[in-house]
Chains A and B, each alone.
Chain A
Amino acid sequence: MSTSLRNNRVPLAAGLAFALISAAIALVFFYAPVDEDGLNQKIFYFHVPIALTAYACFIWGAWKGLMHLWKGKPGADLESYVAIHLGVIFGAMTLITGSLWAKYRWGHWWLWSERQLVLFLVLFLFYSAYFMLRFSVEPGPQRENLCAVYAIFGVILIPISFLAIRLANQYIHPIAFNRHGPQMATSQFATFCVCLAAMLALFAALYQFELAGKRLDEKLRELRELLA
């Protein structure tokens, strides 16, 4: 059956994620050179890949939503929900790591001039409302449609908000920080790529795991209904 095949992906994805994360941690601490910021700069290798992974989650969720509306693919709604759920978790982690970085770099927990961080705050609020929407509507075809439309709105909001925050900085903070002082060295860039791959693998593993659990729940519910 296809279900058992799908379940086999979970250990595979989890193993890959584990191997890549181990490699990433080893590279970050033993291979990548320490630059003038000292050890603080190491958070860069986690913060930026987590942020990019969160974008990937949101885009994947919207893609699945589009598939639901366009092709009416069964199960696309659940896949979209799981992707956005993980996206919110990665988004929250982006906010936390970004805030830590800002504290050690500039001495403040929050900087409105950090555009990416502000963008994540807006997206975090937007996708938190997704949960409110999803859990206030009765499960059914209408809820699937509403969630899919909302998920598609989200990916359109990303570039629009990005533009808005750039524009807002011009009347709130005229001077922008130059975040990346020197260009990245090759060894740093290689480490960064491994970290990004590790985070994406982690997302894939969690996605498969969560999906397998949710599908099992659904199956169990169907069986119970049959018995009742």
Chain B
Amino acid sequence: MSAYFSDVLTLAQKDLRLELRVRNTVPAMLLFVVSALVVFHFALPAGSSDLAAKGMLWVAIVFTALLGLGRAFVAEREQRLLDGLLLAPCDRSAIWLAKTVSVLGFLVVAELVALPAFAIFFSGIDGATIAGVALADLGICAVGTLLAAMAVAGRARELLLPLLFLPLAIPIVVGGVGASVADDPGRYLGFLALYDAVFAIISWASFEYVVTE
């Protein structure tokens, strides 16, 4: 078991080190999320409620995550790294878990900027919203990493991922928006936790089939 987690840790460190050296995902996500918030300011007519702005925050989060996920397997594809990883004597699901962890790390960094920026530009953020974002991040990264691995197998990679991901992201948006706007966020947070658990297990179990023949 500890061997499994040390594999995950090694693989995740590889992704983080790569990002620290090349820096081509996180800065793009940061710039994108701030630009999106500025666009949303102009998309909401004067007098729009804070509730509408909260909804926009979730749109920004989902699309920023999509940007990061689209880059997740680029190195694996361009350098033919995936073949090497598959030859390595580690469990295939460890590759998925490591990638999920690194994408989650990137997304959290983007949100550490996005949430304060949202609070400055629009309205304050409460604890329920932060809890909702944290839970939603887990689901987005777990499902998104699996779908990103699927999308790189196809010809129309960049085109394919949003099409595969958005229908699966609808429940996350429902849970997240509900947690930020409803009076009783508990049931929405519970729903997000359920989504995370179900789809994390399924993704963990099925990743092997996605990358092998």
Contact = CB atoms under 8 A, between A and B. Distances in A.
Given A132-B160, A156-B198, A167 B178 contact: yes
B191 interface: yes
B174 A69 contact: no
A160 interface: yes
Contacts of B213: 140-142, 145
B41 to A, nearest CB: 23
B21 to A, nearest CB: 31
Contacts of A156: 198-199, 202
A212 interface: no
B163 interface: yes
A161 B167 CA distance: 9
Contact of A168 (B155, B160, B178, B202): B178
Interface in B177-211: 177-178, 181-182, 187-188, 191, 194-195, 198-199, 202, 206, 209-210
Nearest to B184: A170
Interface residues of A, number: 33
B1 interface: no
Interface stretch (A3-11, A30-38, A102-110, A122-130): A122-130
Contacts of B150: 133, 146, 149-150
A171 B159 CA distance: 32
A171 B181 contact: yes
Contacts of A148: 209
B154 A160 contact: no
Contact of A167 (B151, B156, B164, B175): B175
A2 interface: no
Instruction: Give the one of B156, B170, B182, B191 with max A CB within 10 A.
Output: B170
B2 interface: no
B153 A146 contact: yes
Given A161-B170, A164-B174, A171-B178, A142 B199 contact: no
A89 interface: no
B61 to A, nearest CB: 16
A136 B160 contact: yes
Nearest to A129: B163
Contacts of B160: 129, 132-133, 136
B209 A164 contact: no
B79 interface: no
Contacts of A122: 167, 170
A19 interface: no
A185 interface: no
Interface of A: 69, 122-123, 125-126, 128-129, 132-133, 136-137, 140-143, 145-146, 148-150, 152-153, 156-157, 160-161, 163-165, 167-168, 170-171
The 5 closest A-B pairs by CB, nearest first: A136-B154, A164-B171, A126-B167, A141-B213, A164-B174
21 contacts: A69-B209, A132-B156, A132-B159, A132-B164, A136-B154, A137-B154, A140-B213, A146-B210, A149-B206, A149-B210, A150-B150, A153-B168, A156-B198, A156-B202, A160-B171, A163-B171, A163-B191, A164-B191, A167-B174, A167-B187, A171-B178
